[in-house]
Amino acid sequence: MNAPETRTAPPEPHVMKTYGRLPVALSHGRGCWLWDTEGRKYLDGLGGIAVNTLGHGHTRLVPALQEQIAKLIHSSNYYHVPLQEQLAAKLCELSGLTNVFFCSTGLEANEAALKIARKFGHDQGIERPEIVVYEKSFHGRSIATLSATGNPKVQAGFGPLVEGFVRVPLNDVAALDSVAASNPNVVAVFLEVIQGEGGVNPATVEYLQAVRRICDERGWLLMLDEVQCGMGRTGKWFAHQWAGILPGVMPLAKGLGSGVPVGAVVCGPRAANVFAPGNHGTTFGGNPLAMRAGVETIRIMEEDGLLQNAATVGAALRAGLERELAGVDGVVEIRGQGLMLGIELARNCGELLGRAAQAGLMLSVTADRVVRLVPPLILSADEAAQIVAILAPLIKTFLAEAQP
Ligand SMILES: Cc1ncc(COP(=O)(O)O)c(C=O)c1O
């Protein structure tokens, strides 16, 4: 790759310092490649954190969005938005669920899901409804969603937290059974099928099926946060479909609009009518531009077989990483599914973010020691091989430095 050793951060005196940024400013992209303002080229293993489903500058998405922008960007939920019905019908067809509420981000979708769960409880006369949530989970950074999140770092400084959550470890059926036995106020279980920010931790098929069964027995809502792992990333439209189960509520966002902000809460019959007119809303939710982005993203994914691509290229990427990192001291585990992969190392590896960028690769490090790859779903086998060729030596060098 053509990245030099040193870079200077662009000055940003007016943007709030909420992110630790690399000294890189991106200018444009094409497919799975990005260029910065100084002309350096990067292979995109990050996809804007699981957002750019169709990569950058897609030759069919861009003209469709341009046409939509010229026609109508935003109207208002005072009126019907026909594209909402079109995208909702498609999401229902793909998920087997029945109704959709649209918003703009992942936390908003989760916030709506939490409100649905609480009202679902109140409608049954439960005055202090509680929701089961998970250790190491991430659901967003609003006060309610950070309270649901299982990461003390995300919560620190923002107390008092919202109450009404019971926390359990992932993949531990006994822990959920014990909540069921002791807490009559529980109304819902809320989990990511593959925890993303928590370190790419998959819920097992057996666990998901057990949660489905317990929810059925108790009359609880099963709410699956597919904001990161959904929209084809694992090789099925939604990650829970690998377990052959149906959720009652499924928040989506990230990849749904291929970069245009779109969030959605897809509901089954028990949750679909919990909100009455006036109970919930958001100005930007379901605007024509966002809806068109969702419709076209799904259309192109279907036309180009991107679920299959995510499965096969994801498997090749994983196999390449497993081959190159086999037996390397300090590589704890390679896990995930399709194009959502995590490589857990034995020590904190945040600095790999910058080193990878220096080497021309975008990726992320999450939960301190997990290198995460969530590239566009258009990634080719050749590009997957290039990711391996850049990343494996970086990881090996990094781990070798730590040896005594
Ligand atoms: C599983 C999950 N839920 C919710 C969110 C929050 O989404 P947003 O950043 O769009 O609010 C994220 C973001 O990383 C996520 O991974």
CA geometry: angle 255, 239, 346, nearest 5 deg: 90
| Closest alpha carbon to 32 in 339, 392, 375 | 375
Which residues are CB-neighbours of 83 under 8 A, at least 6 positions away? Answer: 286, 288, 291, 292, 295
pLDDT in tens, 8-22: 778 888 999 999 999
Q: Is 156 helix (H, G, I), strand (E, B) or coil?
A: coil
- Write out the two tokens for 340: 């959502």
Q: Would you state the pLDDT for residue 11?
A: 85
Average pLDDT over residues 37-50: 98
> Around 220, how many Cα atoms within 13 Å sit in the side-chain half-sphere?
28
Q: Are strands 165-168 and 130-134 parallel, antiparallel or unpaired?
A: parallel
What is the percent of the chain with per-residue pLDDT over 90, rounded to a whole number? 96
In this structure, of 5-9, 77-81, 359-363, the range with the lowest mean pLDDT score is: 5-9
Residue bearing tokens 């995208």:
87
291-308: per-residue pLDDT in tens? 999 999 999 999 999 999
**Bridge-based pairing state of the strands 41-44 and 361-362:** parallel
The predicted model scores a pTM of: 0.97
Please, what is the Cα angle at 366 between 368 and 255, to 5 degrees?
175
User: What does the pLDDT average to over 129-141?
Assistant: 98
Cα–Cα distances (Å) from 162 to 126, 145, 154, 158, in that order, read: 17, 9, 14, 10
Contact between 210 and 168 (Cβ < 8 Å): no
Q: What is the mean pLDDT of the chain?
A: 97
For the chain, how many residues are written? 404
Catalytic residue from among 102, 119, 190, 254: 254
pLDDT value at 55 more than 60: yes
What is the rounded CA–CA span in Å between residue 196 and residue 234?
A: 12
Among candidate residues 101, 225, 238, 275, the one labeled active-site is: 225
pLDDT digits (tens, 9 = 90+) for 60-80: 999 999 999 999 999 999 999
C-alpha 258/C-alpha 47 separation (Å) is 9
3-state secondary structure of 158: coil
CA-CA distance, 14 to 17, in Å (whole number)?
9
pLDDT at 2 over 60: no
Whether the upstream peptide bond of residue 13 has omega within 30° of 0, thus cis, is: no
Stretch 184-198: mean pLDDT, rounded?
A: 98
1: pLDDT strictly greater than 80: no
Question: Would you state the pLDDT for residue 404?
Answer: 54
Testing ligand 1's pocket by substitution, the residue of 108, 139, 231, 366 carrying the most ligand atoms inside 8 A of its CB is: 139
Please state, in angstroms and rounded to a whole number, the distance separating the CA atoms of residues 247 and 275. Answer: 18
Is residue 254 annotated as part of the catalytic site, yes or no? yes
CA 67 to chain centroid: 28
Q: Which amino acid is at 357?
A: A
pLDDT tens-digit series, residues 317-326: 999 999 999 9
Question: Model confidence over 195-210: pLDDT tens digits?
Answer: 999 999 999 999 999 9
Q: Residue 212: its pLDDT value, please?
A: 98
Q: How high is the pLDDT of residue 3?
A: 47
Pocket residue to mutate for ligand 1, from 18, 154, 227, 366, most atoms within 8 A of Cβ: 227
